[in-house]
Amino acid sequence: MLSIFNSVFRTNKTYLEETDTMKKFLIVGLGNIGTEYTETRHNIGFKILDAFAQKEDLAFETVKLGDVASFKVKGKTMLLLKPSTYMNRSGKAIKYWMEKEKIPLENILVITDDINIPFGTIRMKTKGGAGGHNGLKDTQLMLETTSYNRFRFGVGADFGTGRQVDYVLGEWNTEEKKILTERLKLASELIKSFVLSGAKNTMNQFNGA
């Protein structure tokens, strides 16, 4: 009962410790809540944050508009967010936590699947369109800008005409699962690099890897 009270009470104050806003980062993994979506390609954002949390021994807590966990590294603090708003309303959760924690736009990183790049390829950009991705469309709408950092994880485009939705909401195949473990480790390294080294250095090091 006490833990529930604390979770509710915490939504009325900042989740991260009070610190210089430029040292606070919001890392958002896009996905859909529910066990039926857990192993789907569209949920790679959630999967990457889960892998990062497991590596750093972090626990997520269910609070307003999502599950969150915090992590401090070399004087910088990041809030990991898995929105509970479903993919099409991802921007609502992002905007809420960005404003609540007073995190500057340049310190936000949104992780998403991308059918336009080969499976397993990782690519970071500091701006750009939504590329038909509903989660990015809503993020752009709520933040009123296309200039925000996004980390795109390639899921490939091995689907026929009119089968895109079935493909991204489909589960990883056997071969993909074999490769995912190492790619998730690399994705975690990218997140930490973004926080410690900045967007430009991270893009130079990881794009196309």
What residue ranges define each of the domains in the chain, with the CATH number in brackets?
A: 23-206 (3.40.50.1470)
- pTM for the complete prediction? 0.91
What's the pLDDT tens digit per position in 66-78? 999 999 999 999 9
| The pLDDT value given to residue 15 | 74
Is 133 assigned a catalytic role? no
How far apart CA 203 and CA 124 sit, in angstroms, is 6
DSSP secondary structure letter of residue 45: H
Give the model confidence (pLDDT) of 124-146 as tens digits.
999 999 888 999 999 999 999 99
Q: Is residue 9 predicted with pLDDT exceeding 60?
A: no
pLDDT at 19: 67
Q: What is the mean pLDDT of residues 76-87?
A: 96
Q: Of 163 and 20, which is predicted with more confidence?
A: 163
From residue 92, alpha-carbon distances to 66, 83, 99, 142, 180 in Å are: 10, 9, 11, 6, 29
Q: How does pLDDT run across 106-129, given as a tens digit for each residue?
A: 999 999 999 999 999 999 999 999
Place of tokens 């924690």: 101
Q: Which of 41, 42, 133, 192 is catalytic?
A: 42
Long-range contacts of 173-180 (CB under 8 A, 24+ apart): 176/119, 176/120, 179/119, 179/120, 180/47, 180/120
